Amino acid sequence: MMSEKEMMHAVGFFEGLPIDDPNSFIDAKEEVPEAVGRDLLVKVQGVSVNPVDTKLRQTSRRSNALRILGFDAVGEVVAVGDEVENFNVGDSVFYAGTTTRHGSNQEYQLVDERIVALAPEKLTKEEAASLPLTSLTAYELLFDKFNIVPQKDSAKGKSILVINGAGGVGSILNQLAKWTGLEVFATSNPNNFEWLKKVGVDHPLDYHQDLKHQLREIGTESFDYIAVLFDITKYLDIIKSMVNPFGHVGTIVGIKEPLELAEWKNKSVSFDWEYMFAKTDFGYDLESQGAALKTIAELADAGIILPTVSKIYDTGINADNLKRATKDVESGHMLGKVVVSGPF
């Protein structure tokens, strides 16, 4: 006789709907998946909402299968696949997951051990849940793409300009940049200047005002690195002359029109795309994400990286709270990160 499958709570949707629609997220029941191979089965305790959740939800076509998003999680390992090498049942872990499988908005989630690390010991569950996606994005842009060495003071004497420095990724990238010894310049709304200073920025810049004029007053005209954490097409003309020879310009936001980069040729400037899911989408160097998260956890435990939680819904991971958190993210003015935690 077949045994009845164990069921679990999950939060998802059947089609991408506006967040105010009652069916934009629904509470549902799904079968608890089974861990095989290199997979861990994790009991999810906290999740964070990111702009990618919004993008993927809004562009989802109607489907008969429940779609479960969620790209940040902290939780406890409750089962391990037969090929798992690095984790045990009972471990507290954190990770950003992948777009190719069900996400963290479910009670039990399967995740490949290679993209997982032990959660920081000194952080709350909510603080840990806020870190993976933004810190991996910042880490890969600085260390994989800009080729900065991930060590204290490795880039001393150099400078970075961060456009949109107060958001989720910027709030971590500034801190990592500061750790490597970079002089950090970052743009935001002036209301967020205190926050910028807290997260490692030496020179907060007002994005409403003329950037070149502000930089001239500080005595800086060009940078070794420019991280544009916003649609770069709006900034390209301003930053074209601001990058040093053999410098790097990188962005994390997709664009709708071609970029004209020819004038950087004679300066040997590199242009870098960073997309955190590229590695899991293509099965490329998966271990590097687990290793990066291990470093992030160590830096968080050492107090070098402050978690960037600005809002917590801790009464449970359910459709209501995910709608609220998603609405916060969709407002476009989030400082840091919004986290949902508690039972399903």
Percent of the chain residues past pLDDT 90, beyond the cut: 95
Per-residue pLDDT at 3: 55
Residue 73, pLDDT above cutoff 70: yes
Taking residues 43-68, what's their average pLDDT?
Answer: 94
Tell me: do 104 and 169 sit in the same domain: no
Tell me: do 124 and 143 sit in the same domain: no
Is residue 1 situated within a structural domain?
A: no
Taking residues 10-20, what's their average pLDDT?
Answer: 96
Among 244, 273, 302, residue at a domain's last position: 273
Residue 1, pLDDT above cutoff 50: no
Tell me: do 207 and 146 sit in the same domain: yes
Tell me: do 194 and 140 sit in the same domain: yes
Is residue 2 situated within a structural domain?
A: no
With b for 16 or more beta-carbon neighbours within 10 A and e for fewer, the 333-344 pattern comes to ebbbbbbbbbeb
Taking residues 54-63, what's their average pLDDT?
Answer: 92
Is residue 279 situated within a structural domain?
A: no
SS (H, E, C) 249-299: EEECCCCCCCCCCHHHHHHCCEEEECCCCHHHHHCCCCHHHHHHHHHHHHH
What CATH number has the domain bearing residue 242? Answer: 3.40.50.720
Phi, psi (rounded to 5 degrees) for 302 = -85, -5
Tell me: do 139 and 124 sit in the same domain: no
Among 273, 307, 327, residue at a domain's last position: 273
With b for 16 or more beta-carbon neighbours within 10 A and e for fewer, the 246-262 pattern comes to ebbbbbbbeeeeeeeee
- pTM, rounded to two decimals: 0.96
313, β-bridge pairs: 340
Averaged pLDDT score across all residues of the chain: 95
Tell me: do 150 and 259 sit in the same domain: yes
Range of the domain at 156: 135-273
pLDDT tens per residue, range 295-336: 999 999 999 999 999 899 999 999 999 999 999 999 877 778
Tell me: do 96 and 144 sit in the same domain: no
What CATH number has the domain bearing residue 305? Answer: 3.90.180.10
